[in-house]
Amino acid sequence: MSSLLFTPLQLRGVTLKNRIAVSPMCQYSCEDGFANDWHFVHLGSRAVGGAGLVLFEASGVTPEGRISPQDLGIYKDEHVAPLARIVKFIHEHGSVAGIQIAHAGRKASKTPPWDGDKAVAPVAGGWVPEAPSAVAFDDQSTIPTALDAAGIQRVIRAFADATDRAKAAGFRVVEIHGAHGYLLHEFLSPLSNQRTDEYGGSYDNRVRLIREVTRAVRQRWPEDLPLFVRLSATDWVEGGWTLDDSIRLARLLKEDGADLIDCSSGAIIPGVKIPAGPSYQVPLSAGVREHAGIATGAVGFIQSAFQAESILRTGQADLVLLARELLRDPYWPLHAAQELHAQVAWPKQYARAQH
Active site residues per annotation: 182
Cα 253 to its chain centre, rounded Å, is: 15
Helix segments in the chain, DSSP class H:
37-48, 80-92, 149-169, 183-188, 203-206, 208-220, 243-256, 282-292, 305-313, 324-328, 332-339
Tell me the C-alpha to C-alpha distance, in Å, between residue 6 and each of 52, 161, 306, 343. Answer: 9, 34, 12, 9
Longest dimension (CA), the chain: 64
- Could you tell me if 256 and 218 are in contact, meaning their C-beta atoms sit under 8 angstroms apart? yes
- Could you tell me if 101 and 61 are in contact, meaning their C-beta atoms sit under 8 angstroms apart? yes
Between strands 9-11 and 14-16, the pairing is: antiparallel
Q: Which residues partner with 16 through β-bridges?
A: 9
Closest by CA to 154, choosing from 32, 63, 80, is 63
- Could you tell me if 264 and 232 are in contact, meaning their C-beta atoms sit under 8 angstroms apart? yes
- Distance of alpha carbon 307 from alpha carbon 164, whole angstroms: 37
- Distance of alpha carbon 268 from alpha carbon 346, whole angstroms: 41
Radius of gyration of the chain (CA): 19
Tell me the C-alpha to C-alpha distance, in Å, between residue 271 and each of 27, 29, 104, 114. Answer: 24, 28, 19, 19
Backbone angles phi, psi at 252, to 5 degrees: -70, -40
- Distance of alpha carbon 162 from alpha carbon 263, whole angstroms: 23
Tell me the C-alpha to C-alpha distance, in Å, between residue 20 and each of 177, 236, 311, 330. Answer: 19, 26, 12, 12
